[in-house]
Amino acid sequence: MSGAKRTPLFDCHVALGAKMVEFAGWEMPIEYQGLRAEHVNTRTNVGLFDVSHMGEIRVKGPKALDTVEWLTSNSVAKLENGQAQYSLLTNFEGGIVDDLIVYCLEKAVDYLLCVNASNTDKDFAWVVKNNRGAQVSNESAQWGQIAVQGPKAIELVSRLFGTKVKSVPGFHFLPADFEGAQVLLARTGYTGEEGFEIFVPAAKAALLWNLLLDKGQDLGVGPVGLGARDTLRTEMKYPLYGHEIDDTTNPYAAGLGWVIKPASKDFIGRDKIVAGKEAGLKRKLVGLKMVDRGIARQGYPLFSFDNKEIGKVTSGTVSPSLGDNIAVGYLDNEYAELGCEVLVEIRGRKLKAAVVKTPFVQKN
């Protein structure tokens, strides 16, 4: 892993015996006690995730709103102070540069964009290139980020930051003091569970991580690696850049039409995205459950029973929550209806799978 970057929590992971791997140019924990145990503990108790490798781009000044509106597909103007929004950075061909969360620090003049680790440099260059006069800076090195997720996550966070966190709604955030520094307690996450993503100055990240582990012992808190992070998000059918979405993906085909607001504003690629939808999208992103025994992995082709190639798997795993083999993939529209059975080619064998309702795990 020569040359890989390390998060502020690297020494914490090593001390906990994590198995480390290179991911998106970072040396990250893939697992501690085992993927399945970490996954189940997040669904039943509370898990801690190091997401400090994610990118943070700050957009400030009188032109901040104009810039973020132009760059992203969702309606930023609707955000008030302390609100967050899932959105997309789109390109001029109608594809997706990245998915992200926009945090409104001060309405119209100060926004924090949280982007994917693998895309941080690309996204920052894109923001700079298409800036409409805002002050733009890459703050990624300044921030650590810890996700606290699970049914007992809010109780754990309240032990450090007070009962006020229990009233923070989803996709809102609360500034708070931590050891003389300001942190952002955001009611967002990538697991489908209750919880927070805590933005903390990098120098304070290890202290916060260790305090969360200490204060949550009776709640069953445990660290969680990238392996379980991926199975948790797959169970929810949350997209991952490079799997379900990329620079060529029309957002409507990916089931992300709810973050496209072409009637309320102009943004990069708007006309191409809408034209693609109106022309009739040929494929749809669906959930699949294996009928035959086998695990569908990214890139595996999908076939009809008359041997016509009709799609491709984008993500696949064994669901620790269900015990079933599940997958997400694109299918030609005529095969994308619930209950439809298709074939997945796995190591030269064509095995049966069925289109099922998603998310695979139903959460409140």
Tell me the CATH number at 290: 2.40.30.110
Residue 25 lies in a domain: yes
Assess contact for 261 and 70: CB atoms under 8 A. no
> Per 3-state DSSP, what percentage of the chain is helix, strand, and coil (rounded to 5)?
25, 35, 35
Report the length, in residues, of the chain: 364
Structure tokens that stand for 167 in this block: 């009233």
Structure tokens that stand for 187 in this block: 């009611």
pLDDT digit string, tens, across residues 191-212 = 999 999 999 999 999 999 999 9
Do residues 180 and 326 share a domain?
Answer: no
Do residues 148 and 230 share a domain?
Answer: yes
DSSP letter string, 92-152: TTS-EEEEEEEEEEETTTEEEEEE-GGGHHHHHHHHHHT--S-EEEE-GGGEEEEEEESTT
Q: What mean pLDDT is predicted for residues 181-199?
A: 98
Separation of alpha carbons 57 and 42, rounded Å: 29
pLDDT of residue 364: 57
CATH code at 152?
Answer: 3.30.1360.120
pLDDT digit string, tens, across residues 295-330 = 999 999 999 999 999 999 999 999 999 999 999 999
Q: How many domains, the chain?
A: 2
Do residues 155 and 28 share a domain?
Answer: yes
- Determine the structural domain holding residue 316 and report its residue range: 282-356
Do residues 231 and 338 share a domain?
Answer: no
Do residues 182 and 304 share a domain?
Answer: no
Do residues 36 and 145 share a domain?
Answer: yes
Bridge partner residues of 39 (DSSP) = none
Which residues in the chain belong to E strands, given as ranges?
5-6, 19-23, 26-31, 46-50, 55-60, 84-90, 96-106, 110-115, 135-138, 143-149, 173-178, 181-186, 195-201, 221-224, 283-290, 301-303, 309-318, 325-332, 341-346, 349-356
Q: What is the CA radius of gyration of the chain?
A: 21
Domain boundary among 172, 201, 235: 235
Do residues 217 and 322 share a domain?
Answer: no
Domain boundary among 173, 205, 235: 235
Query: pTM score, two decimals?
Result: 0.96
pLDDT band at 2 (very low <50, low <70, confident <90, very high): low
Q: Quote the DSSP letter at residue 249.
A: -
Q: How would you classify the pairing of strands 195-201 and 143-149?
A: antiparallel
Residue 126 lies in a domain: no
Q: Quote the DSSP letter at residue 212.
A: H
Residue 319 lies in a domain: yes
Bridge partner residues of 325 (DSSP) = 318
Do residues 178 and 295 share a domain?
Answer: no
pLDDT digit string, tens, across residues 135-171 = 999 999 999 999 999 999 999 999 999 999 999 999 9
Residue 120 lies in a domain: no
pLDDT digit string, tens, across residues 221-277 = 999 999 999 999 999 999 999 999 999 999 999 999 999 999 999 999 999 999 999
pLDDT of residue 3: 84
Do residues 218 and 288 share a domain?
Answer: no
* Residue 359, preceding peptide bond in cis (omega within 30° of 0): yes
pLDDT of residue 1: 60
Domain boundary among 177, 212, 235: 235
Do residues 163 and 222 share a domain?
Answer: yes
- Of 85, 104, 91, 123, the residue nearest 258 (C-alpha): 85
Separation of alpha carbons 92 and 270, rounded Å: 8
